[in-house]
Structure 1
Amino acid sequence: MASSCRALYISEILAEISWQLEDDRKSLSHLARCCKAFSDPALDVLWRRMSLFSPFIPLLPPNVLTLWVECQFSAESLAGFQCPPIHEWKAFDAYARRVRILYSGASHFLAGVTTIRADFNVFPLLRSMSMQLQETIQPGIRLFPETLQTLEISGPAYINCKDSCIQTALAHAARDAPFLKHLHVEDYGYNSDRLDTQPLHFKHLRSLQISAFISSNVLKSLCYILSQSPVIELKIELPPTSCIWNAPYTLFPHLESLEIHGTPALAEAFITNVSSACVRSLTVTHTRGPARTADCSRLFSTIVNKYGTSLQSLSLTISRSPVLHNHDGVAHDIMDALFPLMPRLEHLEELHLSLPSATQVDDYPAVEVSGWPALKRMEFMAT
């Protein structure tokens, strides 16, 4: 028994015990209160992932807590507020530095505390953040810590907001979070026609997801803003409008993986404007809007002409469209357009097809897998 107890003097063992209890917050809480030796490892795990700001509210300095209780956390109310001395933030900082993942929801609390503390990083060791902006970030504050690697950010939930909150937030992130690798931007439905921000250089940005956009012009502007970063993986949702993409500037020259949600016509237009000719994985998912056979044919030709020597994985999903009636016939027309082009995809190893039909691809007479140079796997589903 004595030797077993001595094992608990090893900090790595205490840390491992705490990690094993990661999903049992009640036990972690008990462990943190057990003794001083157990406290730090348990608290590190307990506070590592936070989804609410409420646990931090009682830790605020008295004057700041009063502002919060009186709902005076707006930028205007905080303009002349004197930040409490550092010793009054001791309890807050002791827990804030343990946080690595923050699902903050609305940004109101964080923006308020950051405004009070000026250029101080509130969560100095944060790795991942998810937040919804409610108002434009003030120029002088540091909302994003230098350690941030993953950011998921969305605009206000109300559609009539005219302030470009996200473009300001992205400019802050480019300035203050130089090691950002993964960025997800969504719900950007403002009334503005475009963004005015110049290209932002995220030197380490590799993965980008853009979703739920309403304005095509805003989406184009955002792509322009982020295209100078070394993005190799892009997931994008194109709005179902008649506006055909035509960008006069270079789009994502380093791209290797591309996933598009939109109509075949818009997907074809977007691919035409992508600068990279080395895409290895391509997914096109049609979920709404028209999907005409002619549009699909142009999409296939563009894919083959542009990525014939690089593409290794191709996934195409064409949903049932209100403008199409004979779905079985349309599926055959789509395969008629696609299959003759397959031999030109020199390195394609995987093909996934989802078409609006009850027809099985094995029944289709034009399938000659032996004539497709590198194909190893083929899947077919009827939508």
Structure 2
Amino acid sequence: MPTKAYAAQSATTPLAPFTIERRDTGAQDVVIDILYCGVCHSDLHTARGEWHGVRFPSVPGHEIVGRVRAVGDKVGRFAPGDIVGVGCMVDSCRECASCNEGLEQYCEGPHSFQGTYNGWNDGSGENTYGGYSASITVDQHFVLKVNHPEESLAAVAPLLCAGVTTWSPLRHWGTGPGKKVGVVGIGGLGHMGIKLARALGAHVVAFTTSTSKVEAAKALGAHEVVVSRNPEEMAAHARSFDFILNTVAASHDLDAFVALLKRDGTMTLVGVPETAHPSPSVGPLIFGRRAIAGSLIGGIAETQEMLDFCAEHNITSDIEMIAMADIDHAYDRMLRSDVKYRFVIDMATL
């Protein structure tokens, strides 16, 4: 069915109105009228051709909240009128070990998972078009139930990427009462990491390079804030962290944070820098049995768990609403870190 959208026709052209074709409703499909779509750095990298294999025209958007318009004959979990979400994936092989464990983001099938936009990760098959559009049709397996109140729905949208990207490692590495957890970076991901770690019961320490963000981090829920450029503040926390969630996507010295881990502590990276981090020293890892790990978004079960937890604890993202026509300006502001902390598009403006 013809659907209004906003697309980048090339890496050098602004996003502009475009009409895409959504598939007819299959037996397992859920048709969603999109209410709000969060704006992720991945959208920017894709629309501006900064990642390998971008397929144009590109319709970004994988932080989607909307209302179900129609469902297929075999859909039992959703009904017209339901408020639902769609995150970073719309398909996977559903047969491999990872998929069978509910970790579709690590799909080991022939294509890996299928992104909500830009198609299968190996570049095969047809392109997929994301949430910068009036509606989307998604297999019910990849649709999430949203239980937040109606007035919070715009601020729920970033949970579908920024929320689960921080939730998944926090849960996997056992964040909870009695644990000291650090969150490096106070941006779209970091601000969610602080909120979630605090709600999970951990003692939360935020790290920032800017003294101007200290009070903001405390307002988000951090018990303490460390200015990472201050050697004395860093040294005061040596060998004290059970877990550090590093959300920074810029190349930086990892050794400074490894030194803050307890024996058996882990620092998990969720940001991919444009240029590689300086190679970490092996000694501190060996002599403290410490680990540097990575984590990718979250599976469907994890995402639903996160949404339910956030609804129960009244957690949403801190957002700034924009009109669809302002997306390129929003991208430019994102590059300057000029947003607290996530843009969300009001799709009524499409």
TM-score by length of 1: 0.25
When you count helix as a share of all residues, which structure comes out higher?
Answer: 1
Which of the two has higher C-alpha Rg? 1
When you count strand as a share of all residues, which structure comes out higher?
Answer: 2
TM-score by length of 2: 0.27
Higher relative contact order (CA 8 A, sep 6+): 2
